[in-house]
């Protein structure tokens, strides 16, 4: 949730808009996942093999582990993961 709040505060000009967006996100049932040893190994492997930041690699590793898609606004990170089919470039 910290990352979402950070993105929303950069995206919206008004505090009320960010607060409303966080409230909506809270209602959609986001799932929290702990970073265990397996997830760490996957993240480290992705970071070094795909030249990702540790932060981005952690999200990509999670997408891999739960068979999900990582939505990102970072075109470079998306391109580095595109061949794996785990990322999608979000549009604004």
Which residues are registered as beta bridge partners of 72? 89
**Angstrom distance (rounded) from CA 83 to CA 67:** 15
18 and 60 housed in the same domain: no
20 and 42 housed in the same domain: no
55 and 82 housed in the same domain: yes
Which band of pLDDT confidence, cut at 50, 70 and 90, is reported for residue 45?
Answer: very high
42 and 13 housed in the same domain: no
38 and 28 housed in the same domain: no
16 and 55 housed in the same domain: no
Tell whether the model's pLDDT for residue 52 goes beyond 90. yes
CA atoms within 13 A of residue 30's CA, in its CB half-sphere: 12
Residues 25, 56, 90, CA angle at the centre, nearest 5°?
A: 50
27 and 41 housed in the same domain: no
Number of domains in the chain: 2
Per-residue pLDDT tens digits for 56-75? 999 999 999 999 999 888 99
Higher-confidence residue of 15 and 4: namely: 15
In order of 13, 60, 61, the CA distances from 42 in angstroms are 36, 9, 5
25 and 65 housed in the same domain: no
Tell whether the model's pLDDT for residue 31 goes beyond 90. no
Please spell the DSSP secondary structure of 5-26, one letter per residue: HHHHHHH-SSHHHHHHHHHHHH
Instruction: Quote the domain boundaries for residue 68.
Output: 34-92
């Amino acid at each position: 949730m910290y990352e979402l709040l950070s993105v929303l505060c950069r995206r919206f000009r008004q505090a009320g808009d960010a607060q409303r967006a966080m409230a909506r996100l809270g209602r959609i049932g986001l799932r929290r996942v702990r970073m265990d040893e397996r997830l760490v190994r996957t993240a480290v492997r992705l970071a070094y093999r795909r030249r990702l930041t540790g932060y981005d690699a952690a999200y990509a590793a999670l997408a891999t582990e739960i068979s999900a898609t990582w939505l990102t606004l970072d075109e470079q990170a998306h391109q580095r993961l595109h061949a794996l089919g785990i990322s999608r470039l979000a549009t604004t």
